[in-house]
Amino acid sequence: MKKENTLVLILAGGVGSRLNNLVQTRAKPAVPFGGIYRIIDFSLSNVMNSGMTQVGVLTQYKPLSLMKHLGTGEAWDFTGRSRGVKILPPRTGAKDSDWYKGTADAVRQNIDFLQAHPSREILLLSGDHIYYMDFDDMINFHRTKQADVTIGMMVVPKSEIHQFGAGITNDEGRIVDWEEKPKEPRTNLASMGIYVFDTDYLLRMLTENREEIDFGMHLIPRAIEQDNVFAYPFHGYWRDVGTIQAYWQTNMDIISEDSGISPEEWGIRPNIEAGVADIADRPPTRFAAGSKVKNSMISAGCVIEGEVVKSVLSPGVRVAAGACVRDSILFHDCIVAAGAEIDLAILDKRARVGAGAVIGRGEDKSTPNKSFPKHLYTGITLVGKEAEVPARAVIGRNCIIAPLARAEDYPSLEIKTGESVGVVDV
């Protein structure tokens, strides 16, 4: 197969509001993951490992950190005469109402990019999933079936199918009916948000009815009704990390045996020169005498004097003597002062936890956050970017500390379960 005959589009413009203050300053695909990666690194690396060389990244919501992270594409070998990664922001106007109205509208606004890069197929991906996949095999499947559209699909529990598009297939694997986020599902076959389109077919679909703005809601159901749409069966590790709980669990999977996720074995590449990885000039991690680390991922440049258990630490994190971090995710350059305790929390970049402070106090993990009950309801507490937790403060479960929060923003040194400090804009 000539891989240059496939053009890749990565949808990276979603708000991802369920990730709460983790997306207050960045796009969802740019959220740090697994210590040294960003979420989009998985899609980019899968494309690179499948030998495809032309990529368009459709951005929209708070794209600056994502654009900086992508750079020239050199980290994923997307530089050279026949290689490239192109940032594709909305171009129809300056108002919010001129932004991409849906996934199909986003591609429609970039038809000139498709036409400028002739291809046999378009591979359409989401930039916010954690997975490993051989796109060569999927495209071969698409060609063998002589499909107009092929959708990557996997079996999920029926209790979770309401989060996905769901396909009903016949014995040949052809999709004969479609349900978008069904409340009462007839199938357990869920769409992964990975599509292969014949290029000419996609261009025709996009120009025939310009009112159809979304693939899952509009174009896919019409294609199933009229044309040849097949389900490509996927059996590996794939996670949508669109919720705080899913994001936390997928990070924990990295340090769990037999979970199925292995970024290094998969060949996932970070951009080590910029952004989250930022490890090119970091010194080796230092473990002081008396420190304890168990079942954790510790990145370059960390200094561990206290205890770290079942946690993921990005570059530059400092855990002082007498401090303890458990079941938590700390983004880079966080500081945990002496005697502090962190249990079941996510701390964004450069958060500072004062001496003797406690994050994650109490047995009650089921009382949700009062302001965002659908975001935080399993006991995880969020501490925003560059926020401060004062010395001796006690923070409960399902709490939110807003980015840039300072000691004077706290109504008291005790923040009860479900309470918040500062303003979260999501």
Asked if 242 and 332 sit in the same domain, the reply is: no
Same domain membership, residue 238 and residue 108? yes
In a domain, 361, yes or no: yes
The span from the CA of 71 to the CA of 388, in Å, is 31
Task: Identify whether 263 is part of a domain.
Answer: no
For the chain, what percent of residues have pLDDT higher than 90? Answer: 68
User: Do 84 and 232 have their domain in common?
Assistant: yes
Residue 212 lies inside a defined structural domain of this protein: yes
Q: What is the pLDDT of residue 276?
A: 54
Domain annotation covers residue 262: no
Mean pLDDT for the chain overall: 91
Same domain assignment for residues 193 and 323: no
Task: Decide which of 254, 271, 304 is a domain's last residue.
Answer: 254
Q: Is the pLDDT of residue 279 over 90?
A: no
Instruction: Quote the number of domains for the chain.
Output: 2
Per-residue pLDDT tens for 131-176? 999 999 999 999 999 999 999 999 988 888 888 888 999 999 999 9
Amino acid 91: pLDDT? 66
Residue 66: per-residue pLDDT: 87
**Co-location of 240 and 287 in the same domain:** no
Same domain, 222 and 353: no
Distance CA 160, CA 187 (A): 11
Chosen domain end from 254, 271, 301: 254
Q: Please check whether residue 195 lies inside any domain of the structure.
A: yes
Residue 321: is its pLDDT beyond 80? yes
Residue 259 lies in a domain: no
Report the run of H or E that residue 124 belongs to, with start and end: strand 121-126
124 plus 14 within the same structural domain: yes
pLDDT at 62 over 90: no
pLDDT in tens, 202-260: 999 998 877 778 887 888 889 999 999 999 999 999 999 989 999 999 999 999 988 99
Instruction: Provide the residue type at 230 as one letter.
Output: F
Report the CATH number that the domain containing residue 346 is assigned in CATH.
2.160.10.10
Q: Report the CATH number at residue 156.
A: 3.90.550.10
118-121 long-range CB contacts below 8 Å, 24 or more apart? Answer: 118/199, 119/5, 119/6, 119/7, 119/54, 119/199, 120/2, 120/5, 120/6, 120/198, 120/199, 121/5, 121/6, 121/7, 121/196, 121/197, 121/198, 121/199
Identify whether residues 245 and 357 lie together within a single domain. no
Which of 208, 239, 254 terminates a domain? The answer is 254
Residues 27 and 101 in one domain: yes
Is residue 273 one of the residues assigned to a domain? Answer: no
Chain segment 383-399, per-residue pLDDT in tens: 999 999 999 999 999 99
* 76 and 129 share one domain: yes
Give me the domain span that covers residue 166: 3-254
pLDDT recorded at residue 92: 57
Q: Are residues 250 and 289 in the same domain?
A: no
Same domain, 246 and 300: no
Which pTM does this prediction carry? 0.93
Residue 162 lies in a domain: yes
